[in-house]
Structure 1
Amino acid sequence: MENVSSHLDELPWVPVRPGVATGVFGKTLLDGATKIVLTRVEPDGGFATHVDRYGHLMQVLEGEGVATVGAQEYAMSPGIVLRIPAGLPHSYRNCGAGYLVLLSVNLPV
């Protein structure tokens, strides 16, 4: 039977896409066509502008940041939800003094 329960403390923080991201670490909660990652971004860390073949849904849990989606900038703070369509250039960075923590869902097209 598949493991249906685990504790977040048991999952390791691993670097996320080192070629595109700096200071970004994740704990993968679901890995498949739909991927869910608890993401922690260090101060001044983030993702450079890039394009993905899948969409994103990101909920900010802690911290402060700025996201750029297409040509628009969006403030990131707890409670904010970003919906990023596949194929649209996007980036984000932590502009706060502490961690920026997101629940990130990669959505298949």
Structure 2
Amino acid sequence: MDELDKIPLYLSRNISELRTKKNWSQQQLAQVAGIPRSTLTHIESGDGNPSLVNLMRVAAALGVGVEELLTRPRSQTLLIPAEKVPVQIRSGGLVRIHKLLPDKFRGIAIERMEFEPESAMGGQPHLSGTKEYMTVLQGEVVVQVAGQSHVVSKGDVLAFPGNQPHGYRNLRKSLAVAISMVIPVPV
């Protein structure tokens, strides 16, 4: 399939994505564009061969140029260089928390935690209904959860209720690195 044969697919994806970003139904976009909904449905299916006038109406309704509807869809990929990843410094500079989830989602967090030798950090209880999953990539971390200590070694996974009081401790004389994921758990 050459690039020209892909244009109906590009058109379909681009219109659908732009419409979704505006939180519009097909009916709403069709009304704003002044075309029948069936025409828009046919275009979004990838089977349509719309007239230039209908393409211009849809592009104008979406606030873009016709060329944006016909080009290869933009990538949804985002690369954040290491120096731009937000880092929170805790425990007097002995613990670094790299925020690995650039988007904000209520109750969800993914963090890379670096514990200097013989350091400790109190955890912050998360929302009720969340669970924290922690795996150690390097070294060993002791996690205190609701009065119990758990030694988490390289490769282990510790799962615990995210809303429980907890804390972390690196008892060794070398750096410990862990990944923590906090996610809502369906009831």
TMscore range, shorter length: 0.7 to 0.9
Gapped runs of 5+ residues in structure 2?
A: 1-74
Is the helix fraction higher in 1 or 2? 2
Q: Paired residue for 1:61? A: 137
Q: How does 1:1-109 map to 2 (within 5 A)?
A: 3-7=77-81, 9-11=82-84, 14-16=87-89, 18=90, 21-22=91-92, 23-31=94-102, 32-33=104-105, 34-48=108-122, 50-53=124-127, 54-108=130-184
Structure 1 residue 50, shift from structure 2 partner: 4.8
Which 4+ runs in 1 deviate beyond 6 A?
none
Task: Give the whole-Å Cα distance in 2 for the aligned partners of 1:13 and 1:6.
Answer: 10
The alignment's C-alpha RMSD in Å is: 2.4
Percentage of matched positions with identical amino acids: 29
Larger radius of gyration: 2
Aligned residues of 1:51 and 1:86 also touching (Cα < 8 A)? yes
Aligned residues of 2:88 and 2:98 also touching (Cα < 8 A)? no
Q: TM-score, normalised by structure 2?
A: 0.48
Q: How many residues are matched?
A: 105
Task: Give the whole-Å Cα distance in 2 for the aligned partners of 1:30 and 1:50.
Answer: 17
Q: TM-score, normalised by structure 1?
A: 0.76
| Greater relative contact order (Cα < 8 A, sep 6+) | 1
Gapped runs of 5+ residues in structure 1?
A: none
